[in-house]
Chains A and B, each alone.
Chain A
Amino acid sequence: NAGVTQTPKFRVLKTGQSMTLLCAQDMNHEYMYWYRQDPGMGLRLIHYSVGEGTTAKGEVPDGYNVSRLKKQNFLLGLESAAPSQTSVYFCASSWGLEVENEQFFGPGTRLTVL
């Protein structure tokens, strides 16, 4: 099992460009999450999904869109990148409805917006 994978691992964008980050999990998890991590800020939830075809806003959703067309994939889109979106992005997944809702994280995508 690969667990949670993310592509790409690194990306540099210019202000105003768009891109999509792909997260895939092979654990048949219901819930998936996108976080961003900035120095000294911990992890902040951008968007999450509680099942195929569903999405919901997290703590910092502005400037991002997501889609979950297939249960195993969760896509994060930046329509018009801004320097403030320079960060490390982590995807995570979990069973969701289990009593102990442990989250499994992907390796991260380091994004720089110039």
Chain B
Amino acid sequence: QQPVQSPQAVILREGEDAVINCSSSKALYSVHWYRQKHGEAPVFLMILLKGGEQKGHEKISASFNEKKQQSSLYLTASQLSYSGTYFCGTESPARQLTFGSGTQLTVLP
């Protein structure tokens, strides 16, 4: 079953913050986050494992609440280069990824 992402789309000005949420009804091994620019392949951002992990990657960080089966991606002080579609992927114990339908992020100057 596909994880649910919210919001579906968000428009920001440079320097503003955004949060993208991902929730699943299935038991998870991990949560992946990828970013895809138009016409390109998805690019890996980070993985969060079980255990309430948080991670940071420059101004992009994420958290994983294992009990709630939810993950959130935080983008702070957004830059034009952050524009794209963000996908969460929930990984099963069998190491298969099921992707959400994506959140389209647009950063305006």
Residues of chain A whose beta carbon lies under 8 Å from any beta carbon of chain B: 31, 33, 35, 40-45, 48, 50, 58-59, 90, 94, 96-97, 99-108
CB contact list, B56-100 vs A, under 8 A: 87, 89, 91, 95-100
Closest B residue to A90 using CB positions = B41
Known: A105-B42, A106-B41, A107-B40. A40 touches B96 (CB 8 A): no
Cβ-defined contact, B41 with A31, below 8 A: no
Report the count of interface residues on B (CB-CB < 8 A). 21
A43→B96 contact, CB < 8 A: no
Q: In the complex, what residues of B have CB within 8 A of residue A33's CB?
A: 97
B42 in contact with A90 (CB, 8 Å):
yes
- If A42-B87, A43-B87 touch, whether A103 touches B102 (CB-CB below 8 Å) is no
Secondary structure at the B interface, as helix, strand, loop or mixed, is strand
B68 shortest CB reach to chain A, Å:
21
A-B contact count (CB 8 A): 53
A99 to B48, CA, bound (A): 10
Chain B's closest residue to A33 (CB) is B97
A90 CB contacts on chain B under 8 angstroms: 41-42
B residues in contact (CB < 8 Å) with A: 2, 30, 32, 40-44, 47, 49, 87, 89, 91, 95-102
Once bound together, how far apart are the Cα atoms of A108 and B36, in whole Å?
A: 12
Let me know if B41 and A40 touch, CB within 8 A.
Answer: no
Q: Which of B2, B44, B98, B101 contacts A103 (CB 8 A)?
A: B44
